[in-house]
Amino acid sequence: MSASCYIPENLTEALEIRKKVHAIPLAGGTDLMVQAKRGIGINPVFPAPIMIITNLEELKGIRVEEDGTLVIGALTTSAEIASDERVFYHIRKAASLMGAVSLRNSATIGGNIANASPKGDLPQPLILLDAEVVLSSIDGERSMKVDDFITGAKKTALKDDEIIKEIRVRPVKATHLFYHKIGTRRANAISKLSLSILADVEDGIVKDFRASSGAAGNKVKRDRNVEMILIGKHIEELPSLVEEFTSAWDGILSPHAMPKYRRESTRRMLSYFLERIAAGAEPGIIE
Amino acid sequence: MAATRIDDKIRRSDALSKARGEAKYVSDYFFDGMLYAMMLRSTEARADIVGITHPVLPEGYYFITADDIPENGVNSLHMIGKDWRCFASGDVKYVGETIGLFVGPSRAVLKSLVENTKVEYAVKEAAVSIDDAIAVKGGAILPEKDNDVMCQLYCQKGREMDDVFKDADMTLSETFETGFQEHVHLETNGAIVTEEGDSYVFYISAQCPFYVRKSVAGLLGLPLDKVIVRQTVTGGAFGGKEHFPDVLAGPLLVAESKIHKPIKLIFDREEDMEFSVKRHPSKVIYKSAIKDGKLIGTKGTIYYNCGAYLSASYVVLQRGVFHANGVYDIPNTYLEGYGMATNTFPSDAFRGFGAPQTLFAIEMHMSHIARRLGIDPADFKKSMFIKKGGETVTNGHVVEEVMLNDMFDNIAKESDYYRKSREYGYGSGRGIGVSFYNHGGAFTGNGEQAIIKAHARLKKSGEKVTIEVGSTEMGQGFQTSLRKIAATVLEIPIEDVDYPNPDTSIVPDSGPTAASRSTMVVGKLIERCAIEMKERWNEGDFSVEKEYEHPEGFPWDQETFRGDAYLGYGWGAAIVELEIDRRTNEVLVKGVWTSHEIGKAIDELIVHGQINGGVIQSLGYASMEKMENKNGHFKQTSMSDYVIPTSMDFPKQYYHIQENPYQFGPFGAKGMGELVFNGVDAAYVDALERAIGKEVYKIPLPPEDIEEALENA
């Protein structure tokens, strides 16, 4: 147990501290402060030194690169993401429904990924879009898919000398979009279940189809093999594939609590989306 | 300044200081040399304590247990009964029972002492649910009994049930269940004990300062006046600070008698959720006889889960039984109530005090009967309304004009109830539901006269007047209402009436701030004081004190529970409209319409606030507030897993206040704080049943439980 706290001025300094003492990066603190609290009138206790990285300008902001890749700095808050039109629909929507206003003003995308809660709001759409996370250390950078970075409930591939620098999302072509979060209530809620879906339909053919399920297992659930059931098919074929597809999708879910509800709601939402596309729904958001 | 009139809309006297953060709560008090306390609690639901091993206490730290209670004291908190122990000794009866109190200067050190103390248990099988208790799982909890029935009562109206059922052309038997509910008062429980001269002094967040005094004095064998209780600004209570503050004050008093320094004990939110009293879970079985489209008789068997100690449970159960007929004149009823002892944290007072559980059950039961008769539930219920002079289930009579028909007409028109009821039908995904309810004002029967004997005092000093009562402000607005009553009678500005938080060494005991009795009973006392003071206004500085006087002609027998259980009821009617998302079972509430008859609103702004709050709390109870208990441990321990509604969940509320001046209340006012909680849950569930086309029998109903209901139906 240690009470040490570092406040680096820039990324290089932060990476040096991270390398030397493996200090835990603390950004918005909306998860870490809750996890470390010890009760009223008692200082929080962390398992290692803490490094408050809120100052690091290198990790802030949203930009779009020439090839259309969206880059979101790790310290970008949910509020900033939710209000930026350049951000892909699913991510923006998820950010807008995260906690309450005050939390969205301090919680960061890097923190939400690092916390790796199966109920976390942002990993689910990021995994849908094959987003990559860029990890910095004093020795260099590496990147990997968010889906590979989060290895299980509260588990990540982050090394003890690394800091999440940014998240990169390459453009994804899609004609039909769906996002739904079932919270414990209508606002300021933790996710009970969430689902993102997208489809790219061209001349009646499903060119791409993706889905990702949050709070339905030890981590966000997505499976390209299951998605392949629908890809390449004509929308007229979809009704006959609903049963096969939704059953296969159900097979990848592993909800711990309220399994029946989580499975059946997911099945009904997926079916609904497919029925709407089969019925020739206009491109856009499926409500 | 102009004299205050009763119909003025005025700003609450505590509003600004609370909004600005200036109000001083118990947690904000500091005294020189003050120490902190932390509880060592049971982690087992039922077990013998084999041994307790704590780390070596650093200098200036103490560990207080039952062994520290002096010979002339008893290890008992004197609530209504005396069974709740201050400290567990020899065995534990529920998870969270206080075993000891660590006291010292640093909370971090105290936390580490608690965490590193090892209590060795011989664990026994626990009874946690009502069904466990009926089955006497693990053997009887109460030493002197061979079952787990902690308290019971019955009452009969009309003919023998067997006889009534012979006449029936239809019968319906149903079982309803309701869950735990946590108070979630904004301010958690907290208290400070210190000494002044030869008296012990408490600063405490509490509804009933005189309860605290009575409860703890016996621990040290003290006369009551050697314990002084000063209520601090109390940030919400809902019944959770009626008896429960005693559980903090008791151990603190024992510690103070050893340590003689100020000691502060404040619960953090998790402690306050995991280790505090809750609303009684219930199981209510109704069997009804119906003949020619009329309900002719109902037999009710009512079980409440009381937890390990009695506290207020018997009185809660009585109120549950006395409200089990709802607002209906059922010609024949036989109602039996059983308070079941279990190894859970004791259940206790919570807004509604036993009435909401049976009111929910009877409302659903009535709707289900109506559906079988092919009548709109509203029309069936209206055909059974009790009227003035109608016989209650305790063979007493309703004293006031019952205005439910007018009240329903108002909200039916506002909500377009009948059109929607027809159009939405049953199972369309949309639903509109209706409920009716009441709440008997003040203490049951002759309790006000026989038990409380409330006193209130007005003190004049120059042109200023001070109210001296033991009644407390806990966010409900009473300090404003009571000032308004005094100022109006005295024809002076409300600013000239002071009403400080009570100190038991100064004020007379006006009874507990509970049972929706404050405005109706204490308000009346202050009105009487003010009338006399007005007549004697020119006599200089003086005080007027009045004692409660029971109106003539309302007999009550507390042995047999026969007679006039309540001298007046508040009445309510509610309509809820909603839609269900068929894919996710999420419920979208489209509107909430209520009408409440409370005699007369002393202050419409305060009443409006109470209505909004009570209605939302009731809707939370019905829809999302799920508190489960596994092996004696509450599963939901934080505000992120035990969720209460936000304004987004139930956004639109229409409210109507029905005037019907009450002869025994100040300016015609009756109680209303609990009434507004008592029944909107049933309107919500009625609407939900109509939307999904299935009957449900238990609350709360979050989406996953709706899934289960659809599956099982």
- Name the A residues in 36-65 with CB < 8 Å from any B CB: 38-43
Architecture of domain B31-124+183-274 in CATH? Answer: 2-Layer Sandwich (3.30)
Q: In percent, how much of chain B has pLDDT > 70?
A: 100
| Contact at CB, A184 and B27, closer than 8 angstroms | no
Residue with tokens 């207020």: B312
Asked if A1 is an interface residue toward chain B (Cβ–Cβ < 8 A), one would say no
Q: CA of A186, closest CA in chain B: separation in Å?
A: 6
* pLDDT at residue number B712: 78
Q: Closest Cα partner for B565 from B358, B321, B303, B208?
A: B321
The answer to whether B566 touches B440, Cβ cutoff 8 Å, is yes
The answer to whether A164 touches A185, Cβ cutoff 8 Å, is no
What's the pLDDT tens digit per position in B440-474? 999 988 889 989 999 999 999 999 999 999 999 99
Q: Closest Cα partner for B3 from B411, B495, B338, B336?
A: B495
- Name the B residues in 631-650 with CB < 8 Å from any A CB: 640-641, 643, 645-646, 648-649
| Contact at CB, A41 and B36, closer than 8 angstroms | yes
Which of the residues B26, B28, B581, B584 would you substitute to probe the A interface, choosing the one with the greatest number of A C-beta atoms within 10 Å?
B584
Closest CB from A41, A261, A264 relative to B107: A41
Sheet (strand B455-461) strand order:
B497-498, B464-468, B455-461, B543-547
What's the pLDDT tens digit per position in B292-302? 999 999 999 99
Using a 10 angstrom Cβ sphere, with 0-12 exposed, 13-18 middle and 19 or more buried, the burial of residue B451 is middle
Asked if A181 is an interface residue toward chain B (Cβ–Cβ < 8 A), one would say no
Model confidence at B651, pLDDT cuts 50, 70, 90, reads confident
What is the number of alpha carbons within 13 Å of residue B136 lying toward its C-beta? 10
Cis (ω within 30 of 0) for the bond into B700? yes
Rounded to whole angstroms, the Cα distance separating B10 from B301 reads 46
Instruction: Tell me B332's DSSP state.
Output: E
Q: How far is CA B3 from CA B491, B499, B604, in A?
A: 5, 17, 18
A256 CB neighbour count, 10 Å cutoff: 12
What's the pLDDT tens digit per position in B225-274? 999 999 999 999 999 999 999 999 999 999 999 999 999 999 999 999 99
Residue with tokens 């903090």: B248
Rounded to whole angstroms, the Cα distance separating A248 from A234 reads 19
* pLDDT at residue number A2: 47
At A12 the three-state DSSP class reads helix
Asked if A264 is an interface residue toward chain B (Cβ–Cβ < 8 A), one would say yes
Q: CA of B586, closest CA in chain A: separation in Å?
A: 8
Please state the φ and ψ torsions of residue B47, each to the nearest 5 degrees: -165, 155
What's the pLDDT tens digit per position in B53-102? 999 999 999 999 999 999 999 999 999 999 999 999 999 999 999 999 99
* pLDDT at residue number A3: 61
Q: Closest Cα partner for A167 from A112, A93, A119, A89?
A: A112
The answer to whether A105 touches A77, Cβ cutoff 8 Å, is yes
The answer to whether B627 touches B307, Cβ cutoff 8 Å, is no
Architecture of domain B282-422+433-444+562-577+602-712 in CATH? Answer: 2-Layer Sandwich (3.30)
Rounded to whole angstroms, the Cα distance separating B231 from B207 reads 8
| Contact at CB, B704 and A260, closer than 8 angstroms | yes
* pLDDT at residue number B438: 98
pTM to 2 decimal places: 0.97
Where are the domain boundaries for CATH 3.30.365.10 in chain B? 15-23+447-547, 31-124+183-274, 282-422+433-444+562-577+602-712
Cβ-Cβ contacts under 8 Å, A262 against chain B:
704
At B274 the three-state DSSP class reads helix
* pLDDT at residue number A1: 43
Rounded to whole angstroms, the Cα distance separating B69 from B61 reads 18
What is the number of alpha carbons within 13 Å of residue B646 lying toward its C-beta? 13
Question: Which value does ipTM take for this structure?
Answer: 0.95
Residue in A with minimal Cα distance to B112: A38
Closest CB from A38, A43, A261 relative to B707: A261
The answer to whether B115 touches B126, Cβ cutoff 8 Å, is no
Asked if B108 is an interface residue toward chain A (Cβ–Cβ < 8 A), one would say yes
The answer to whether B501 touches B232, Cβ cutoff 8 Å, is yes
| Contact at CB, B703 and A187, closer than 8 angstroms | no
B410 CB neighbour count, 10 Å cutoff: 18
Closest CB from B266, B270, B648 relative to A187: B648
What's the pLDDT tens digit per position in A130-170? 999 999 999 999 999 999 999 999 999 999 999 999 999 99
Closest CB from B268, B641, B708 relative to A40: B268
Residue in B with minimal Cα distance to A43: B108
Rounded to whole angstroms, the Cα distance separating B115 from B518 reads 43
Using a 10 angstrom Cβ sphere, with 0-12 exposed, 13-18 middle and 19 or more buried, the burial of residue B545 is middle
Concatenate the DSSP letters of all residues of B132-176 into one string: HHHTTTTS-SSTT-SS-EEEEEEEEESS-HHHHHHT-SEEEEEEE
What is the number of alpha carbons within 13 Å of residue B168 lying toward its C-beta? 20
Closest CB from B108, B641, B646 relative to A42: B108
- Can you count the helices (H) and strands (E) in chain B? 18, 28
* pLDDT at residue number B652: 84
| Contact at CB, A260 and B708, closer than 8 angstroms | yes
| Contact at CB, A41 and B583, closer than 8 angstroms | no
Q: CA of A2, closest CA in chain B: separation in Å?
A: 14
* pLDDT at residue number B445: 87
Angle between helices B478-490 and B523-535 (to 10 degrees): 30
**Average pLDDT in chain B:** 97
CA dihedral B640, B642, B647, B653 (to 10 degrees): 170
Q: How far is CA A16 from CA A108, B168, B411, in A?
A: 22, 85, 68
Average pLDDT on B303-318 reads 98
The answer to whether A270 touches A162, Cβ cutoff 8 Å, is no
What's the pLDDT tens digit per position in B504-555? 999 999 999 999 999 999 999 999 999 999 999 999 999 999 999 999 889 9
A111 CB neighbour count, 10 Å cutoff: 25
Rounded to whole angstroms, the Cα distance separating B608 from B277 reads 28
Using a 10 angstrom Cβ sphere, with 0-12 exposed, 13-18 middle and 19 or more buried, the burial of residue B170 is middle
What residues contact B472, with CB distance under 8 A and at least 6 apart? B206, B207, B208, B209, B231, B234, B478, B501, B502, B513
CA angle A51-A56-A61, nearest 5°?
Answer: 130
Q: CA of B73, closest CA in chain A: separation in Å?
A: 32
pLDDT above 70 (res B603): yes
Cβ-Cβ contacts under 8 Å, A178 against chain B:
none
For residue A63, give both structure tokens. 């930009």
Q: How far is CA B691 from CA B30, B261, B585, in A?
A: 55, 61, 11
Angle between helices B355-373 and B604-623 (to 10 degrees): 70
What is the number of alpha carbons within 13 Å of residue A140 lying toward its C-beta? 2
Residue ranges in chain A modelled with pLDDT below 50: 1-2
Cβ-Cβ contacts under 8 Å, A185 against chain B:
624, 643, 645-646, 648-649
Closest CB from B107, B268, B643 relative to A184: B643
* pLDDT at residue number B294: 96
Cβ-Cβ contacts under 8 Å, A268 against chain B:
582-584
Closest CB from B111, B645, B649 relative to A39: B111
Instruction: Enter the CATH code of domain B15-23+447-547.
Output: 3.30.365.10
- Name the A residues in 189-208 with CB < 8 Å from any B CB: 189-190, 192-193
Q: Closest Cα partner for B556 from B545, B548, B564?
A: B564
The number of C-beta contacts closer than 8 angstroms across A and B is 71
Cβ-Cβ contacts under 8 Å, A272 against chain B:
583
Q: Is the dihedral of CA B263, B269, B271, B273 positive or negative?
A: positive
Asked if B583 is an interface residue toward chain A (Cβ–Cβ < 8 A), one would say yes
Model confidence at B713, pLDDT cuts 50, 70, 90, reads low
Closest CB from A188, A264, A265 relative to B646: A188
Rounded to whole angstroms, the Cα distance separating B319 from A134 reads 63
Rounded to whole angstroms, the Cα distance separating B685 from B691 reads 10
Asked if A184 is an interface residue toward chain B (Cβ–Cβ < 8 A), one would say yes
Cβ-Cβ contacts under 8 Å, A99 against chain B:
none
Q: How far is CA A199 from CA A173, A205, B476, B686, in A?
A: 8, 10, 53, 39
| Contact at CB, B624 and A185, closer than 8 angstroms | yes
Asked if A185 is an interface residue toward chain B (Cβ–Cβ < 8 A), one would say yes
The answer to whether B102 touches B114, Cβ cutoff 8 Å, is yes
At B304 the three-state DSSP class reads strand
Which domains does chain A possess? 5-169 (3.30.465.10), 176-285 (3.30.390.50)
Asked if A173 is an interface residue toward chain B (Cβ–Cβ < 8 A), one would say no
Looking at residue A60, its amino acid is: K
User: Bridge partners of B503?
Assistant: B230
Closest CB from B640, B648, B707 relative to A186: B648
